[in-house]
Amino acid sequence: MARKLNTSSLNKDRMPRHVAIIMDGNGRWAKKRFMPRTMGHRAGMASLKKVVRACDDMGIAILTVFAFSTENWKRPRDEVSYLMQLLTEFMRKELDELHQNNVRIQVLGDYNATPPECRIEIKRALEMTRDNTGLIFNIALNYGSRKEILDAAKTLAAKVTAGEIKVEEVTEEIFSGLLYTKGMPDPDLLIRSSGEMRISNFMLWQIAYTEIVVTDTLWPDFTEDDLVQAVVEYQHRDRKFGGLNK
């Protein structure tokens, strides 16, 4: 049973529309317990389930999580394959509930590189939830922001060469429309767990004015309360977008 979320400290009028999360610290969590890293990822999946529900309950419109980067293929083969299995399991076990809750699942990144069983589950999830109108749940998978930006630049260059658009007509909106996050507002809040002060090639274009909250909590220990706390911290920030506040 999902725990009742304590949202009394939240200002309902200043909720972030889009929350992005770098779920870091699974390996360290496992190491502290003399467990294999894979167990840290499994515990991390449990945290993710809770956080998706909490975002839905809090009325956040978009949640984007960094599940697997283009650089993560460099990890030991066993760890990569376990992460792919976990993703497959997550899709199999959670899809019905997410669909019932009107959640729309999307993948940011080229998931064609994932194993066949994972691809099948992803396709099923994307198709089943395509018309849902509730929380948009973006899973960044085989995702790298530089690749995303470079691909957009190549597409744009090809359009210019083909005479479909003139260089001087290119705007930030047009460029944004070529990214995986096409049509979505940029993240208002980026949370990174486990204390690392890095962006790690995540949403470099989209986080230009995003508020960043870094928590020392390792991702498997991250709870709904940590999410609420991060949102409260966000709500106390003075967002100026490069301008001045009155």
Which residue out of 57, 72, 110, 221 is catalytically annotated? 72
Residues in 96-135 that interact with ligand FPP by CB under 6 A? none
Backbone phi and psi for residue 37, each to the nearest 5 degrees, phi listed first: -55, -35
Among 16, 44, 144, 187, binds ligand FPP (CB under 6 A): 44
Among 139, 156, 207, 231, binds ligand FPP (CB under 6 A): 139
Q: How many residues bind ligand FPP (CB under 6 A)?
A: 19
Residues 6+ apart with CB under 8 A from 122: 87, 91, 107, 111, 114, 141
List the alpha helices (DSSP H) in the chain. Answer: 26-32, 37-58, 77-100, 116-129, 145-161, 172-176, 224-235
Task: Name the residue nearer to ligand FPP (CB basis): 180 or 219.
Answer: 219
Cβ-closest residue to ligand FPP? 27
Amino acid, res. 197: M
Written as six digits, the tokens of 103 are 């959640």
Residues in 210-229 that interact with ligand FPP by CB under 6 A? 219
230 binds ligand FPP (CB under 6 A): no
Written as six digits, the tokens of 121 are 């589950």
Query: How many alpha carbons lie under 13 Å from residue 138 in its C-beta half-sphere?
Result: 28
- What binding mask, one character per residue, do residues 45-84 give for ligand FPP by CB under 6 A, x or -? x--x------------------x----x----------x-
Report the alpha-carbon distance of residue 59 to residue 135 in Å, rounded.
8
- Smallest gap, in angstroms, from Cβ of residue 58 to ligand FPP? 20
144 binds ligand FPP (CB under 6 A): no
28 binds ligand FPP (CB under 6 A): yes
Q: Which of 193, 211, 229 is nearest to 10 (CA)?
A: 229
Residue 201, exposed/middle/buried by CB under 10 A (0-12, 13-18, 19+)?
A: middle
Which residue out of 6, 11, 13, 24 is catalytically annotated? 24
Q: How does strand 18-22 pair with strand 62-69?
A: parallel
| 188 is known as an active-site residue | no
Residue 239: how many other CB atoms lie within 10 Å:
12
| 142 is known as an active-site residue | no
Report the alpha-carbon distance of residue 94 to residue 86 in Å, rounded.
12
- Smallest gap, in angstroms, from Cβ of residue 187 to ligand FPP? 17
- What binding mask, one character per residue, do residues 171-210 give for ligand FPP by CB under 6 A, x or -? -----------------------x----------------
Q: Which residues bind ligand FPP (CB under 6 A)?
A: 23-28, 41, 44-45, 48, 67, 72, 83, 86-87, 90, 139, 194, 219
Report the catalytic residues: 24, 72
